[in-house]
Chains A and B, each alone.
Chain A
Amino acid sequence: MGGSILGNRVLRKEDPKFLTTGGKYVDDLLDEPLLQNAAHVTYARSSVAHGRILSIDTSDAASMPGIIAVFTGADLGLEPKPSAFNPMATRTLLAMDKVRYVGEPLAIIVSETREQGEDASEAIIVDYDILESLIDVEQAMASTTLIYDACGSNVVFDTTALGVPENTGDNYFAGCEVVVKGRYINQRVAPCPLEVRGAAAAWGPDGRLTQWLSTQHAQGAPEPIAAANGVDVAQVHVKTPDVGGGFGAKIGTYPEDLLLGVVAKRVGRPVRWRETRSESMVGLGHGRAQLQYITIGGSRDGKVTHYQLHAFQDSGAWVDMGTILAPFMTRPMSSGVYAILNIECRTTSVVTNTTPTVAYRGAGRPEATAAIERAMDMFAAEIGKDAAEVRRLNLIPKFMEPHTTAIGGTYDVGNYEESLNRALEASDYAGWRKKQAERRANNASKQLGIGVSVYVEITGGVGTGESAKVEVIEDGSARIYTGTSPHGQGHDTSWSMLASEQTGIPMDKIELIWGDTDLVPVGTGTMGSRSLQQGGNAVYSVAGTLAEKAKSVAARLLEANEADIVLDKDKGIFHVAGTPAVSKTWADLAIAEKATGGLVHSDVIGVAGPTFPFGAHVGIVEVDIETGKVTHIAHYACDDAGTVLNPMLLEGQIHGGVAQGAAQALLEEVRYDDDGNPITSNLADYAFISAAEMPSVTVIHMETPTPNNLIGAKGIGESGTIGSTPALQSAVIDAVSHLGVRHIDMPTTAERVWSAIQQAC
């Protein structure tokens, strides 16, 4: 009898294809019958950050070679639609009355080739009445210029409107021996998936619209697509080819996706659209972009008793997902892993003339963690205690029943001190501190910095369960239909492991189907680290039920009692207990059931609630004191994601997460000039991290299963990003703290570090 496949380092089923012939992405659908003779769509975009549109002249563009049609919002009769999060903010899918950020689409060119479309986009002449550009939240709040006149303010969402009281101010800290204040910038970053946005649309002879999308959530797309095209949602069929990364920015649909069906109908041809990298850097949603004011108070012996956070979320130029992450994701996680009994958190979301912000790997939780971790460091520095020890003093003790924090977050299970202990031990924290002391004593030109973070986050916060269907076909192979959606995570491998475990059908005889709304109509997609704990959990449950169902079929065929039937998972056969010589295969059963609807089971499996993965990171950097240059030289990550299905996939998620988290701490920042022109809109200017900037990451094992689902799994997709950023920011500051530096905003570029040293000296 073989052991369980679960928990093993099973190689990715996906890799042979991706490493040889490559994926088939939306722009590769050249053989697709419905897309033959497809025309190309190019979006002409605003070149100014804020202005009223006086006129759009498309006549020159329309007469250029290969141009089939050019449409403005007026040509298409577009109507303003309200934001889901603030009904007073309305916009049309193409800018009509005004433009609100550089890169906002304002006209559509349909052409025979992409190149012709790009040429024509330069010939569209827009006359603007330029308005004041509002680039950051404090500027936008202070200005009388409004981005949405009907809102009456550039503040578009505030927790006070939810009934949360305003923060009480400094009086709150009246009884504290030690009070420290901080102003932190959690800067705007670009998700940068390797595959940029792309889509294609075709109207079939049956009058249905098929739309191919590079998306994380196919099932969320038909409704907005149907609305944009003025058809019933049943008339929309969304298909998802391979997707080359999303990081949250491909959860929703964009105007560029929604209008393809409209123009395909107008020109009577299918259309394709794929943005360039330069367009993607301004058109795909951005992440983070929070300004945080914190006050932390407690006793001189290191106990934190009071914490206050006011987070100002930059929504960008539209009231999109980014607007509501601060109130609903940052706020409940604002005290992190600490037992802080007095806590206040207000969030204020503000529109600016920048690319709209959306969910980005971590989506609100990294911001909460960064704020409290930075505050803990500053508190520790103020009382002159070791930052790791001050954390230990304030951790919520181990709990295996739900724990509710003072701010109102209810966590499933937690053992924070153990994760901190493991990270400190595996990293040889004491050893690094000793080396650091030596370098300080020697006045070395390269100083060591050691940063510690302890975090907890919410995963599976989106959705309350997931759909799964498993069917066995006549050759004995299986098909899994899942409502989650892979774009790099390894769903094919994981879901096949779970189904194989329940059925004994080998992994290579299991096919995964996703992202096709005709085949999988119900699904919540892949976001918020929910896939395994909800989608995988559903596959595990449904495959288990199917195996039970199959036993009743086998009982009928073997003329035996169902209770006597056993499934030999090693061989994938059913027989009466004790008499394996007479058996039925999965294929036999599938053939027998063909006439009565097939051997299939389908269900939506709920979970008891979201889960709260936690962990501790130790980041080590070397800082060149003369130049400020930071080198990330070692990283230790203890991320507890509950029961581990496949350690190799887990490590991959941590490696990638640490890379993106390190990128925010050390390198990446989306920037604009004073007029709102993006100045980081390609990968030469935007400091997208590469392998050369990364050390080897030491992954430290820890598993505390959650009771909230059958498989004990919590999310891992975002943990690396959440733990690494504060650890690394802290490490950089720690490296120069002996020179008097208390804070450096992210990214901790060489010049920022150098300037901080100059100012401290």
Chain B
Amino acid sequence: MIPAPFDYKRASSAAEAIALVGEYGEDAKFLAGGHSLLPLMKLRLAQPAVLVDIARITDLSYIRDAGDHIAIGALTRHMDVEKSPIVLQHVPLLANAASHVGDPQVRHRGTIGGSIAHADSASDLPATTLALGATYVVQGPNGVREIPANEFYVGFLESALAPDEMLTEIRVPKMNGATWGFQKFNRRAQDWAIVGVAAWKRGNESGVALVNMGSVPVLASSVSQAIASGASIAEAAELAASEAEPQSDLNASAEYRVHLAKVLVRRALESTNA
């Protein structure tokens, strides 16, 4: 419960943060809200030699209406996403998912960018932004590039970010006119999901992604394809785990997770939230 020794650097801009991480290489990690990284460090499962604290880069905390999408600065706290009138109006699924992250203390400290960059398949926001077809803007020493959410998650706690790249903005398409559902199945209110589902539907168009159904957040493409081909929600939901490779762990067997995914996908798609 006490981290291994590390150095601490504080950056005041994205460029400075990227330069600092470039200087220390793979031994350095960005520290935003700290609610994913610090627990791993306390258990000594992560032992970065240097932490580059980016939490005070205030110009990366914002929520803007950018026409066809909402632009969210990477350092925006979960509580701000949850309460934002812009997000509530145009991407209510994301606001709702943010309201399920951890507990109020976590939501006041943790950031959307930190959660996505940490790339934990058991976290709520990677899968939710995946379901919504978000694009992540990342900045590195050679400039800015965009990574679609469905190309971002490459392995367990592993993303397409280069070590010296920083996630700066999340662009989420507006989902106006869609119904949506967010299903988080857990033991206790503040726990990670045993299985979670973020889903939206507009006519026969839909997006469905799964939390904690494998080493990466899973886009349930088979479900969306079935709905596009005219299948009922109940029929489509039977395909929920087609793309998933769930593990057995302390909280659930793989078999049970598959069952839960089917039930929760059906419930999320049947939801009449709009």
Task: Please give the residue numbers on chain A whose beta carbons come within 8 Å of chain B beta carbons, in ascending order.
Answer: 114-115, 118-119, 122, 276-279, 626-627, 629, 667, 671, 679-680, 682, 684-685, 687-690, 692-693, 749-751, 754-755
Contact = CB atoms under 8 A, between A and B. Distances in A.
B2, B44, B260, B264 — most chain A CB neighbours (10 Å): B2
A692 B189 contact: yes
Contacts of A680: 250
Given A671-B250, A680-B250, A754-B259, A749 B187 contact: yes
Nearest to B257: A751
B58 interface: no
B256 interface: yes
B129 to A, nearest CB: 23
A164 B178 CA distance: 71
Contact of B43 (A114, A122, A682, A687): A682
A278 B188 contact: no
Interface of B: 1-2, 4-5, 39, 43-44, 185, 187-192, 194, 250-253, 256, 259-260, 263-264
A629 B44 CA distance: 33
Contacts of A629: 185
Contacts, number: 55
Given A679-B250, A684-B39, A690 B189 contact: yes
A119 B256 CA distance: 40
Contacts of B39: 684
A687 B43 CA distance: 18
B189 to A, nearest CB: 4
Main secondary structure of the interface of A (DSSP, over half): loop
A410 to B, nearest CB: 42
Nearest to B266: A626
Given A627-B185, A682-B43, A693-B189, A115 B2 contact: yes
A692 B185 contact: no
A667 B2 contact: no
Contacts of B194: 750
Contacts of A685: 250
A687 B188 CA distance: 7
Given A671-B250, A682-B43, A693-B189, A278 B260 contact: no
Contacts of B192: 684
8 contacts: A627-B259, A627-B263, A671-B250, A682-B43, A684-B192, A688-B188, A693-B188, A750-B185
B250 A277 contact: no
Nearest to A114: B2
B106 to A, nearest CB: 11
Given A278-B43, A751-B253, A667 B4 contact: no
A667 B190 contact: no
Nearest to A275: B1
Contacts of A667: 187-188
Nearest to B256: A751
B256 A754 contact: yes
B4 A627 contact: no
A689 B187 CA distance: 9
A627 B264 CA distance: 9
Given A278-B43, A682-B43, A751-B252, A692 B188 contact: yes
A497 B63 CA distance: 57
A684 B191 contact: yes
Contacts of B188: 667, 687-690, 692-693
Given A114-B2, A627-B260, A687-B191, 19 more contacts: A119-B4, A119-B5, A122-B44, A278-B43, A627-B259, A627-B263, A627-B264, A680-B250, A685-B250, A687-B187, A687-B188, A690-B189, A690-B190, A692-B188, A692-B189, A693-B188, A751-B251, A751-B256, A754-B256
